[in-house]
Chain A
Amino acid sequence: MEDSFDAPMTALVHFDNVSKRYGSRTVIDSLSFSVRPGSVTGLLGPNGAGKSTAMRLLLGIAHANAGRAALFGQSAGDRGFRDALHRCGALIEEPSLYANASGRANLEIQAAALGIKRRDPRLDRMLELVGLSGRAGDKTKKYSLGMRQRLGLAIALLNDPELVILDEPTNGLDPAGVVEIRELIKSLPASGTTVLVSSHLLSEVQKTADHVVIIDRGRLVRDDTVDGLLATAGSNGGFVLRVNDSHRAAAVSALAAKGLTADFSADGSILVTGEITAGSQISQTLAEAGVYLDELSPQSADLEAVFLGMTGTSSGDVPGGAA
């Protein structure tokens, strides 16, 4: 599904055969992928897949044993790496905050580190954006995890970055907060910000990302667009239909007679697979058998199914995995 683009030259993030070991344990294994400008790229993988480590390598917080992780073409140790870092914002794992300082003071410290003045209107704008204006004066040790997460996002976005790297940004947020952050992430490309976001919440990635990189045990499993992934997963899929309960058995018999496989689902629907050229083929078959449809739709694959299929992870290992 990759279209041709010169990744090392144009990608904001480029992993080239990167490996990272801690002792004898390989956490990242010859990982290669790119993040192209203007996209929201989801980095997906089960627990311990190496998502956070990959992000730390990218930001120079950890060092790769082999390969090159580049940000705007610059790796840790390159002369231009500092400038590259200043063009991006990051929220890695739990937001790192000074607990005894207020939310605003935390922003001011980051602003000073980035050469932004204390009274710059961006500070208030960021607090407003993440809904913390009213609590900006409180010490962050009094913040809930969700509020800390929001402040972490404000810090990541403070310098109007061209690229923002977010590791589990919706951790600890209530449902309304999740929606707000999701909308915020989706809106970033419109203002020129590319996003690399990791999450365990597959549904969130499906709703926010247009590109997905799936890794497992530090290895690249798939690098594709969300639509491409779902299309691949759905290519062998069939149709889901609903009929009156009293006609379900007749419907299954009629479809089987035409050589199609029809299975009852737990939710009362019937999943039809086989050589189906169009939905009308099913409706015609059922009509001829005197069964009339209440509902007919193509079976839609979700990212969770794709993810589980590719990583061999059990659904129990995928927190919030329901898409």
Chain B
Amino acid sequence: MTLVAELTKLRALPTPRVIAAVCFGLTLLVGLILLGVQPSDATVYRDIATGPASIFVFIASIVFGAWVFGVEFGQGTLRRVLTAEPRRGVVLAAKALVVVCGVAVFAAALMAFSIGLIALVASASAVELDIGYSFKALAAMTIEGTLFALLASAFTLLFRSYAGGMIASLAMVFVGDGLIGLWSAVRDYTFGASIDSIDAAFDVTDADPTFALIPSILIALAWVAAAAVPGVVRFLRGDFK
């Protein structure tokens, strides 16, 4: 029932729809601009098919991952959630499942839409899109988007704030990761390094993978867990207004 309630929120509340509409709209806009420019280089189509959509998935994943938990803190609705389902672990699990499944479906759908659209635009210029590469990027981004979303969820739980979760996630990705990477012993084990390694494992970058796919995912999940543990403990044991 808790999962059904979480799915009902996806339908009833506007934020997921707005996130999806903006991302699909911007992707469509990119396609239309490319149609106007009509480059002849096949690598341009390949990069445009996956690059902008990857950025949209990255941002949308962080916003959505923070929103699923943050909406309750921001609007004081958690007490309503907990009076319907007092088993707080079940509430956390239902929300985490919505984050994982929601982002995976969204990321795959947006990447597929972008690839299909750009393939269509490329065909108008008699250029063939590298579909094999594009679908490897889709698979990589589906996994990475899910990890970004879980990281945002973890920080949102920790700070009990939607905005706090998003800001902390972006700070971690753009600043914290770099600072941690200054320590040479852990440079290959940062969250960012594991994301790069996932890309490399799918062969969508020129770099060689530091780790295979599964170890890379596990390293990223370890960072998510490290960020999540204090927030989860606070959620399970704490009082709510």
Residues of A near any B CB (own CB < 8 A)? 56, 59-63, 76, 81-82, 85-86, 90, 92-94, 96-102, 105-106, 108-110, 112-115, 118, 155
A101 touches B83 (CB 8 A): no
Residues of B within 8 A of A94 (CB): 76
Is A114's CB under 8 angstroms from B84's CB? yes
The CA of A85 and the CA of B84, in the complex, are separated in Å by 7
Query: In the assembled complex, how far is the CB of residue B47 from the closest CB belonging to chain A, in whole angstroms?
Result: 36
**Cα distance, A61 to B240, chains bound together (Å):** 6
Q: Does B182 contact A (CB under 8 A)?
A: no
Contact yes or no, B5 A113, CB < 8 A? yes
Chain A CB within 8 A of B234 CB: no
- CB-CB under 8 A for A100 and B8, given A85-B86, A92-B79: no
Whether B117 sits at the interface, judged by CB under 8 Å, is no
CA–CA, A12 to B14, complex, Å?
39
| Interface membership of B210, Cβ < 8 A | no
With a cutoff of 8 Å between Cβ atoms, the chain B residues found around residue A96 in the complex are 75-80
Cα A93 to Cα B87 in complex, Å, equals 22
**What is the CB-to-nearest-CB distance from B107 to chain A, in angstroms, rounded to a whole number?**
24
Binary CB contact string for chain B from 42 to 85 against chain A (1 if under 8 A, 0 otherwise): 00000000000000000000000000000100011111111111
| Complex interface: chain A residues within 8 A of B7 (CB) | 112
Known A76-B86, A82-B87, A85-B86; contact A110-B12, beta-carbon cutoff 8 A: no
Contact between B5 and A60, CB atoms less than 8 A apart: no
Least Cβ distance of B140 to chain A in Å?
33
Quote the shortest CB–CB distance from B237 to chain A (angstroms): 8
Give 11 pairs: A residue, B residue, CB < 8 Å, sorted on A: A56-B240, A56-B241, A60-B82, A61-B241, A62-B239, A86-B84, A96-B79, A109-B8, A112-B5, A113-B2, A113-B4
**B15: interface (CB < 8 Å):** yes
Q: Which of B202-241 contact A (CB under 8 A)?
A: 237, 239-241
A60 with B84: CB separation less than 8 A: no
In the complex formed, the residue of B with least CB distance to A140 is: B75
Most B-side CB within 10 Å, residue of A76, A98, A115, A118: A98
Interface residues of B in 139-159 (CB under 8 A from A): none
* CB-based contact A98/B79 at 8 Å: no
Q: Is B13 positioned at the interface, with any CB of A under 8 Å from its CB?
A: yes
B1 contacts chain A at the CB level, 8 A cutoff: yes
CB-CB nearest in chain A for B87: A82
Residue of B whose beta carbon sits closest to that of A78 = B86
Interface pair B81/A113, CB less than 8 Å apart = yes
Q: How far is the CB of B71 from chain A (nearest CB, A)?
A: 7
Q: Assess whether A155 is in contact with B80, with CB atoms less than 8 Å apart.
A: yes
Contact (A98, B8) CB under 8 Å given A61-B83, A62-B239: no
Give which listed residue, B14, B78, B85, B239, contacts A113 with CB less than 8 A. Answer: B85
Beta-carbon contact of A90 and B83 below 8 Å: yes
A56, B239: Cβ atoms closer than 8 Å: yes
Contact between chains at B12 and A97 (CB < 8 Å): no
Binary flags per residue of B3-37, CB closer than 8 Å to A gives 1, else 0: 01101110011110000000000000000000000
Q: Which residue of A lies closest to B76 (CB)?
A: A96
Q: Given known contacts A82-B85, A108-B12, A112-B4, is B239 in contact with A98 (CB within 8 Å)? A: no
Nearest CB to that of B2 among chain A residues? A113
Instruction: Give the residues in chain A near B240, CB-CB below 8 Å.
Output: 56, 61-62
Measured between beta carbons, the chain A residues less than 8 angstroms from B80 are 96, 110, 113, 155
B79 near A82: Cβ-Cβ < 8 Å: no
Collect the chain A residues with CB atoms within 8 Å of residue B9's CB: 98, 109
A74 to chain B, nearest CB (A): 10
Task: Identify 17 new A-B residue pairs, CB closer than 8 A, beyond the known A85-B84, A101-B12, A112-B1.
Answer: A61-B239, A63-B237, A82-B86, A86-B84, A90-B83, A96-B79, A96-B80, A98-B12, A98-B71, A105-B13, A108-B8, A110-B80, A112-B4, A112-B7, A113-B1, A113-B85, A118-B8
Residue A98 contacts which of B4, B77, B86 (CB distance < 8 angstroms)? Answer: B77
Which residues of chain A are near B1, meaning CB under 8 Å? 112-115
Report the separation of the CA atoms of residues A97 and B81 in the bound assembly, to the nearest whole angstrom.
Answer: 11
Q: Which residues from chain A contact B76 at a C-beta distance below 8 Å? A: 94, 96
Query: How many Å lie between the Cα of A109 and that of B78 in the bound state?
Result: 13
A81 to B12, CA, bound (A): 28
Top 3 closest pairs, chain A to chain B, by CB: A113-B84, A105-B12, A113-B5
Closest to B18 in A: A100
Q: Taking CB as reference atom, which chain A residue is nearest B15? A: A100
Known: A97-B77, A98-B77, A110-B80. Contact between A81 and B86, CB under 8 A? yes
User: Which residue on chain B has the smallest CB distance to residue A76?
Assistant: B86
How many Å lie between the Cα of A99 and that of B12 in the bound state? 11
A58 to chain B, nearest CB (A): 10
Q: For B81, give the chain A residue with the smallest CB separation.
A: A113
Q: Check B14–A56 contact: CB distance below 8 A.
A: no
A171 to chain B, nearest CB (A): 15
- Complex CA gap A82/B81 in Å reads 12
Closest chain B residue to A139, Cβ basis: B14
- Expressed in whole angstroms, the Cα–Cα distance for A61 and B91 within the complex equals 13
- Residue in B closest to A95 when the chains form the complex, CB atoms: B80
User: Closest Cβ of chain A: how far from B94's Cβ, in Å?
Assistant: 10
User: B174 CB to closest chain A CB, in angstroms?
Assistant: 29
CB distance from B18 to the nearest CB of A (A): 10
